[in-house]
A = this chain, B = another copy of it.
Amino acid sequence: MNFEFSDEQNLLREQAVGFLQENCPPAAVRAILDGDAAYDQALWKKIAELGWMATVVPERYGGIGLSHLELCVIAEELGRAVAPVPFSSSVYLATEALLLAGSESQQEKWLPKLATGGAIGTFALGEGPGQPTPAKLATIAAGGRLAGVKMPVADGDVADFAVVVAKADSGDGASLYLAELDGVARTPVATLDPTRSHARIAFDNDAAEPLGAPGQGWALAQRLFDRAAVLFAWEQVGGAAAALDMAKEYASQRYAFGRPIASYQAIKHKLAHAYVKNTLARANCYYGAWALGTDAAELPLAAATARVSATQAYYYASKENIQTHGGMGFTWEFDCQFHYRRAKLLSVNIGSESTWQDKLIAAVEQRNAA
């Protein structure tokens, strides 16, 4: 039994922590929150120099060829730092989609650029409010061209290409397409987390090429989301840990009625509950990391389990962090809002808690049937 990260992976974590403390302090997050930039370009460049985008890209495509365990380590630290970069779109989704379904030539063309951060990719599924289904897809592919509106697309305004779920007019059901976005009509869309940019993409017979087998788009998207869910969950537990740390620190320093508020059971038990949720979520993320790293048959269940508990943990930690800070936590000036915003964004942008709860039970049912 070795259910821990390796020494090398822990070393990577240490480096990541140090790097992000220096290059992604709260002031950097705030600059994106308050400013007009879509993301922190300087940070993105430095991350690229560290090779983080290249982590799981095979060496023959200019990557480092490490395992997904290393990527999980990075994800947790990016989550902890609430990093304002398009990492999840480009790495967890676009890079993974190419690895999963890309042709040799598609991989040759894009993976080296993704690995260096020179290109940003994203994934475009949603078409407005509500749960997407194959039947409802209104983005149509015909003759190598896409038509339809995708909204919201995370980092859609800054991405070089998007992997798009669309319906072939030939009637094969949903398929994946790779669409370069230069020249495509894109509008930024405001979300409750301005530290991560989103766009509305209106395809108007813009060029796109198939990615993966026709008609397999929905199944591929589900597999992709199972993989990405583990990485999102690691970002979420990283954020949840940071929110708990903030609350702990503030509560220990803030006095009321002559003693630290952290000495009151109302606060102590609140933070203990956060610790419990975080610990359970983290343990499930470990299992998710193992399943992702080994491409295990248990991945759908492991991913859903990690995702459900990480979503619950981050929501709780982020809202109770504000509550622990009292009135000051509700001010723009304080950083509590970073986690509250990010927690909610991460909880919806690959499907909601209820959706993943349903997937979890479906995976249990499948395991039983097998």
- Chain A 239-277: CB-based contact to B (< 8 A → 1; otherwise 0): 000000000000000000000000011100100000000
A264 to B263, alpha carbons, bound, how many Å?
A: 11
Number of interface residues of A (CB under 8 A): 4
Distance A156 CA – B71 CA, assembled complex (angstroms):
64
Give the secondary structure class of A's interface.
Answer: helix
Q: How many angstroms between the C-alpha atoms of A264 and B264 in the bound complex? A: 9
Per the bound structure, the CA–CA distance linking A265 and B270 in Å amounts to 11
In the assembly, what is the distance between CA of A264 and CA of B269, in Å?
A: 12
Q: How many copies of this protein are present in the complex?
A: 2
Please report the C-alpha to C-alpha distance between residue A266 and residue B266 in the assembled complex, in whole angstroms. Answer: 6
Q: Which residues of B contact A266 (CB under 8 A)?
A: 265, 269
CB neighbours of A265 from chain B (8 A): 264-266, 269
A362 to chain B, nearest CB (A): 20
* Closest chain B CB from A245 CB (angstroms): 23
Q: Which residue of B lies closest to A267 (CB)?
A: B265
CB of A54, distance to nearest CB on chain B (Å): 50
In the complex, which residues of chain B have a beta carbon less than 8 angstroms from the beta carbon of A264?
Answer: 265
Q: Which residue of B lies closest to A264 (CB)?
A: B265
Question: How far in angstroms is the closest Cβ of chain B from A326?
Answer: 16
Write out, one digit per residue, whether chain A residues 293-318 have a CB within 8 A of any chain B CB (1) or not (0): 00000000000000000000000000
Proximity bits, A179-206, B CB within 8 Å = 1, else 0: 0000000000000000000000000000
CB distance from A293 to the nearest CB of B (A): 39
Name the residue of chain B whose CB is nearest to the CB of A266: B265
Segment 97-134 of A: residues with Cβ below 8 Å from B: none
Q: Which residues of B contact A269 (CB under 8 A)?
A: 265-266
Bound-complex Cα distance A266 to B265 (A): 6
Complex CA distance for A265 and B265, rounded to whole angstroms: 6
Give the nearest-CB partner of A269 in chain B: B266
Docked CA distance A173–B219 (Å): 44
Shortest Cβ gap from A273 to chain B (Å):
12
In angstroms, Cα B264 to Cα A269, docked, is 12
Give Cα distance in the complex from A266 to B268, angstroms. Answer: 9
Cα distance, A269 to B270, chains bound together (Å): 12
In the complex, per-residue mask of A55-94: 1 if CB is within 8 Å of any chain B CB, else 0? 0000000000000000000000000000000000000000
Q: How far is the CA of A265 from the CA of B264 in the complex (A)?
A: 7
**5 examples of A-B residue contacts, CB within 8 angstroms:** A264-B265, A265-B265, A265-B266, A265-B269, A266-B269
Q: Which residues does A use to contact B, with CB under 8 Å? A: 264-266, 269
In the complex, the 3 A-B pairs of residues with the closest C-beta atoms, listed nearest first = A265-B265, A265-B266, A264-B265
